[in-house]
Chains A and B, each alone.
Chain A
Amino acid sequence: MRWLVSDMSKNKQTAGHKGAYTSQRKKEGEVRSCIRYRCGLTNTIQDVLNQRPGWVEVKDEGDWDFNWCDVGWLRENFDHSYMEEHVRICHFRNHYELTRKNLMVKNLKRYRKNLEREAGRLEATKCDFFPRTFELPSEYHIFVEEFKRSPGSTWIMKPVARSQGKGIFLFRKLKDIIEWRKDGTRSEEQRDEAQVESYVAQRYIENPYLIAGRKFDLRVYVLVTSYIPLKAWLYRDGFARFSNTRFSLNSIDDQYVHLTNVAVQKTAPDYDPEKGCKWQMQQLRCYLTAKHGFETVQTLFKEIDNIFIRSLLSVQKTIINDKHCFELYGYDILLDQDLKPWIIEVNASPSLTASSQEDYDLKYRLLDDTLHIVDMEGRLTGKEKRVGGFDLMWNDGPVYTDVGLEAMGCSCLVANTHLGCVNDRQKQLQQLLKPFPGQKRT
C-alpha cells in the first residue's frame, strides 16, 4: 500500500457483494493469516490488537491492513492514502458531521425539518431529543430571541470542538456571555482561539434524573460499519457516570456538579480515585426497573435506541461512505426527571483509557467485539444479528429479534437491542465464530 493520490471511485462498492468479508476471501483465494496493524494510541486498544492471534504491528512507513488511528492522523493522511479493498480504518473521513456539536445540531435540525415535511408533525417530534441549541456567533440573534422568551432559564455554553469538559460553563444572564466575549476570565490563548472557534449555546436541562441526589449521564457505544446502507450495532455494556457532588441549581459556577465527564471529576477537590463514580449499565437498568417497573424502563430504552438511529440517519447522506471505514461512537445521553432521554453529544474517539480494572475489562471486551465485527479474518457470514456484546440495531431498516415473534404468540415485533442487559458474550462467541487460523477450538 503506497501513498498515492487516491481515486475515490475505486472505493465504490461493487454491486451484489456482501461486503468486504467474502470478497476478501474470493479475491485472495485464502483467508488472510497475518494481519498487519497500525495503532496510534497507547491504551486498551493497544493490548487488544497485540493479543489478537495473527495480528502483527507495523510501525512508521510499513504497509498495513488495519489502522486504529486518531482523528489527527486521519485528517492529515486519509486523503493521500490508497487503500486496498480489504483494508480497514477506524474513522469515517468527515465524522465530525456527527461529532462536532454545532454540526450535529445543524444536521439534526435539517433532518427534523425534512421529516416534518414528509411525514408530518407527530413523526418529527420523535427527533425532539436535543435541547434548543444555537451556534455562536453565527446564530447569535435568534439565540437572543429564544433566550428572552424563557426568562430565568439556564443555558450552557460549549466549545464545538473540544472534549473532556474543557471550556464549558453555565449562564443565566446575557451579560454573562457579553462579558465573556469581551475578555472575562479566559486566558490569552483562549481568547485567541475563540476568535476562530465556534461555540454552541444550549438550553441546560435543569431537571436531570437524580440518583441519591446526584446527577449522572450515560455513555453508550454504537458501532457503524456502513452509512449507505446504514448498518449500526449497539453494545450491551456501557456505564453511568456520576457527578461527585450533589446536584443543585444554586451554584452554576461549580462545574464539578454539572459536568459528569470523568476527566472533569478527576480534578474536583474531593475526588477520591479509590471511590468509583461509575455504575455499569446493567446496574443502572436494574435500579431503574426496581424503581419504575419493567414497562417504563423498556419504553425508556426504546427511546434511547431512537436517538441513535435518528442521529445516524440525520448524517447518513452527509458522511462520505467508504467501505474501508467503520467507527465506534461513544454517545453521551442524559435522562431527565420524566425519564426522557436527551442527546448531549457523540464522540468519535471515546476514551479507551481505563479508570479501573472493571473499566479496563469493559473496554477490552468492547474493542475485541468491534474487531470481531470488522472481521479481518473473514469468519462471519454477514447475516449475524449478534456478535459478542454487540446487537445489530439497524440494517438499512429496523432489526427485530427472532425470539419475540414465536414466544410472544402475537405479532408484536421486539427490537434487537439489549442495552444494559446480560452480556454473555463468551458463550455466544464460542458458538458463533470459527477459531482463528491456526487455533484449535477449546
Chain B
Amino acid sequence: MLDESTELSVSITQIVHRLKGTHLHSQLEKHAKECMHKPEIKLETLKDDVRRLLKESGWERKLQNAVYRELHILPPPGHPRAPPEHAKEPLEYMHKAQVSWEKRILKSLNSMCTELGIPLARKRPVSEQKELTNKWNEMGTDEPDLSKFRPVYAPKDFLEVLIGLRNLNNDRSEDLTVRSNWGLIQVSLNIRDIPQMRETYPELGLTYGQLGIDDHTHVPPDLFESEHILVGKKVLSEQDSAAAQQYSRQGCPTGLRAQLWTLILNTTDDPEVITHYEQLKARVIHHGLLVDNLIYKDVKLTASNDDYYFVFEDYLYQVLLCFSRDTAVLEHFNYNSATPPKSCVQSKSGSEQCAVVYPPNGVIPFHGFSMYVAPLCFLYNEPSKLYSVFREMYIRYFFRLHSISSHPSGIVSLCLQFERLLQTHLPQLFYHLREIGAQPLRIAFKWIVRAFSGYLSTDQLLLLWDRILGYGSLEIVAVLAAAVFAFRAENLMEVTSPASAEAVLADLSTLKVMPLLQIFLFATSV
C-alpha cells in the first residue's frame, strides 16, 4: 500500500504530465512571459510576482479548473506491482465477464458486417463526400434503408449478462431469506445504505433549499430561489469549477445551467476544441463506418420518436458520427473496465492483417445510446460545444452505465443498490412483485442505463443530471429508481401480472424528481 504522500506525488506527476503540451500550458507560458515586461516585477521576487499576477488575471483559476478536471478522470491509485488491468477492474470475475461480453458484441458486429456485405469502414467517393458536406446540417432528411441493420445489443441483453454474474468466492444460496438478495443481481458489492447516503448527500436534505422543490409556484422566491440565482451568477463570474460543482448540488437555474455545466466540466471555447471538432467532421466526410448506420437507426428509433427531442435529430447525427471517430476518447479506457474492440484490417496488398481499434473511439453504440446526447441539445446548439460537453460527460460518467465493473457508479453497483434499497425499505412490495413474476430490476433497468433520459420530462431530467454532476456520481440514479417504486407502491401492490406492473410504471413524465429523492432519502424511517 502506498502512503498518502507518495500517492499524492504520483498523482501530481500524472496530472502535470497530462497538462503539459495542452493549449492551457502554452497560454500560461505566454502570459507568464508577458508578465515579465510589467514594471512591478522585481528580479528578487520574480517567481512570487509572476504568480501573483497570474492569479490576479484569472489564469491561476483556469489552471485550478484544469487540475480539478484531471482529478475527475484520474485512474484510481494502485499498487506499483499490479498489472494495468487491476487499475481498470480489480475483481477478476468482473473483468472476465466484461471480456466475454465484449467478445460477444464484437462477434455480433462482425457477423452483421459479413452478412450484409458492408465493410466496417470505407472511403467515400468524392461525390458522396460533397453531398454529405452540403447536407451536414440536415442529415435527418436522409432516408437511408436501415431495415437490414439491427442494433448490436439492447439494454435487456446487457441485463441478462449482469444477471448471470457470479463471484465464485462467495456463492450464495438461492433461498429466499432476509439475508439473500431477492433481486436479479447475485453478487455482493459494497453499496451504501440510507444512513450513509444521508451523510453523503446532505444538500438534498429537508433543511436545504433545492431547485426542483423550493422554486415551486407556491414558495415565495426570496425564501431560496432569488438568493440561489445570485450565488449562481457569482460562481459564474468567479469561473470556479469546484464551486460550480458544489453549487450544482442544489440545482442549477434554467437560465444559468448551460454555463454552469461547461464550467463544471471545464469544457472551454479554446480554438483547439473547435479545431478538433472540425477535424472529426472531416473524418466523417471522408470515411463511412458501419457503425454510422447503427447510429442512424438508433436516432430514428429513439430520439426522433420522442415528443421533445425529435427537433434535435440533426444535432444528434453531428455529435454521434464525430464521436465514433474521436480517438481522444480512447484515453478513458485507462480507467474503464472495458477494453476497446479491435478489428482486423486487411492492408491493400491483402497480405498483412493488423488489428485496429474499431470504431476509432472504441465505443460500439447500443440501442438508446443517442439518448445520452439528446437532453444536452436543450442547452447547447453550437455543434463543437455540444460535442465537448457530451464527450466529457461520457468519459466521466455515462461509460459506467454499459460496462461491467465493481465501481460504485458502475451499472452493477447501481442495480444492486436499487434492489437493496427496495428490499430493505419496501419488502412487501418487492416480495409481491417477485411473486407475480415482475422482478423490479427488469422494469427499472432501462431507466438506470439511460440515466432516465427519455423517461422523465426534460426539466426534471436536467435537475437530476445537475446532481449527478454536483456529486460526481451516478448513485443518485439508483436512488431515484427506488424512489419511483416507492411513490407508486400502492398501485403496484394491486397488480397481478408483470404487464400491469410495467403499465403502472410506463409513464414517468409527470414525476417531480427532487421531492421523490428528498422523501426517500430523508423521510424514510431507518
Q: How many residues of A contact B (CB 8 A)?
A: 35
Q: What are the residues of chain B within 8 A of A286 when measuring CB–CB?
A: 254, 378, 458-459
Tell me whether B222 and A283 are in contact (CB under 8 A): no
Q: What are the residues of chain B within 8 A of A291 when measuring CB–CB?
A: 258, 379, 381
Tell me whether A422 and B217 are in contact (CB under 8 A): yes
Q: How many residues of B contact A (CB 8 A)?
A: 33
Provide the bound-state CA to CA distance between A292 and B459, in Å. 16
Stretch at the interface among A77-85, A120-128, A271-279, A337-345: A271-279
Stretch at the interface among A211-219, A311-319, A322-330, A371-379: A211-219
Q: How far is the CB of B306 from chain A (nearest CB, A)?
A: 8
Given contacts A246-B137, A275-B304, contact A212 B314 (CB under 8 A): yes
Q: How far is the CB of B292 from chain A (nearest CB, A)?
A: 20
Q: What are the residues of chain B within 8 A of A277 when measuring CB–CB?
A: 310
**Beta-carbon nearest neighbor of A287 in chain B:** B378
Contact of A290 among B137, B254, B312 (CB under 8 A): B254
Tell me whether A424 and B255 are in contact (CB under 8 A): no
Contact of A279 among B229, B257, B311, B315 (CB under 8 A): B311
Tell me whether A246 and B141 are in contact (CB under 8 A): yes
Q: What are the residues of chain A within 8 A of B255 when measuring CB–CB?
A: 289-290, 292-295, 297
Given contacts A246-B137, A275-B310, A421-B217, contact A290 B305 (CB under 8 A): no
Q: How far is the CB of A360 from chain B (nearest CB, A)?
A: 14
Q: What are the residues of chain A within 8 A of B220 when measuring CB–CB?
A: 403, 406-407
**Beta-carbon nearest neighbor of B379 in chain A:** A290
Q: B470 near A: Cβ within 8 Å?
A: no
Q: What are the residues of chain A within 8 A of B137 when measuring CB–CB?
A: 213, 246
Provide the bound-state CA to CA distance between A407 and B219, in Å. 10
Q: How far is the CB of A408 from chain B (nearest CB, A)?
A: 8
Q: A245 near B: Cβ within 8 Å?
A: yes
Given contacts A358-B307, A421-B217, contact A212 B458 (CB under 8 A): no
Q: How far is the CB of B102 from chain A (nearest CB, A)?
A: 35
Tell me whether B254 and A424 are in contact (CB under 8 A): no
Q: B125 near A: Cβ within 8 Å?
A: no
Tell me whether B377 and A212 are in contact (CB under 8 A): yes
Tell me whether A213 and B314 are in contact (CB under 8 A): yes
Tell me whether A290 and B258 are in contact (CB under 8 A): yes
Contact of B310 among A276, A287, A358, A406 (CB under 8 A): A276
Q: A438 near B: Cβ within 8 Å?
A: no
- A residues 288-308 in Cβ contact with B at 8 Å: 289-295, 297
- B residues 141-173 in Cβ contact with A at 8 Å: 141, 143
Q: How far is the CB of B419 from chain A (nearest CB, A)?
A: 33
Given contacts A246-B138, A290-B254, A290-B257, contact A407 B307 (CB under 8 A): no
Q: How far is the CB of A385 from chain B (nearest CB, A)?
A: 14
Provide the bound-state CA to CA distance between A291 and B253, in Å. 12
- A23-41 vs B, Cβ < 8 Å mask (1 yes, 0 no): 0000000000000000000
Q: What are the residues of chain B within 8 A of A421 when measuring CB–CB?
A: 217
Q: B308 near A: Cβ within 8 Å?
A: yes
Q: A242 near B: Cβ within 8 Å?
A: yes
Q: What are the residues of chain B within 8 A of A424 when measuring CB–CB?
A: 217
Q: What are the residues of chain A within 8 A of B377 when measuring CB–CB?
A: 212
Q: B437 near A: Cβ within 8 Å?
A: no
Tell me whether A276 and B307 are in contact (CB under 8 A): yes
Q: What are the residues of chain B within 8 A of A279 when measuring CB–CB?
A: 307-308, 311
Provide the bound-state CA to CA distance between A290 and B386, in Å. 14
Q: B427 near A: Cβ within 8 Å?
A: no
Tell me whether B254 and A212 are in contact (CB under 8 A): no
Interface centre among B141, B221, B310 (most CB of A within 10 A): B310
Q: A409 near B: Cβ within 8 Å?
A: yes
Q: What are the residues of chain B within 8 A of A278 when measuring CB–CB?
A: 307
Q: How far is the CB of B307 from chain A (nearest CB, A)?
A: 5
Provide the bound-state CA to CA distance between A74 and B170, in Å. 80
Provide the bound-state CA to CA distance between A409 and B381, in Å. 37
Given contacts A212-B314, A213-B314, A407-B220, contact A289 B254 (CB under 8 A): yes
Given contacts A212-B315, A213-B314, A287-B378, contact A274 B305 (CB under 8 A): yes
**Beta-carbon nearest neighbor of B256 in chain A:** A293
Q: How far is the CB of A406 from chain B (nearest CB, A)?
A: 8
- The 9 A-B pairs of least Cβ separation, nearest first, read A294-B255, A293-B255, A407-B220, A289-B254, A212-B311, A276-B307, A246-B138, A212-B312, A289-B255
Q: Which residues of A contact B (CB under 8 A)?
A: 211-214, 242, 245-246, 270, 274-279, 282-283, 286-287, 289-295, 297, 358, 403, 406-409, 421-422, 424
Q: Which residues of B contact A (CB under 8 A)?
A: 137-138, 141, 143, 216-217, 220-222, 229, 253-258, 304-305, 307-308, 310-315, 377-379, 381, 457-459
A-B contact pairs, 17 of them (CB 8 A): A212-B314, A212-B381, A242-B311, A246-B314, A270-B143, A274-B305, A276-B310, A279-B307, A282-B459, A286-B378, A289-B255, A290-B255, A290-B378, A290-B379, A291-B379, A295-B255, A358-B307
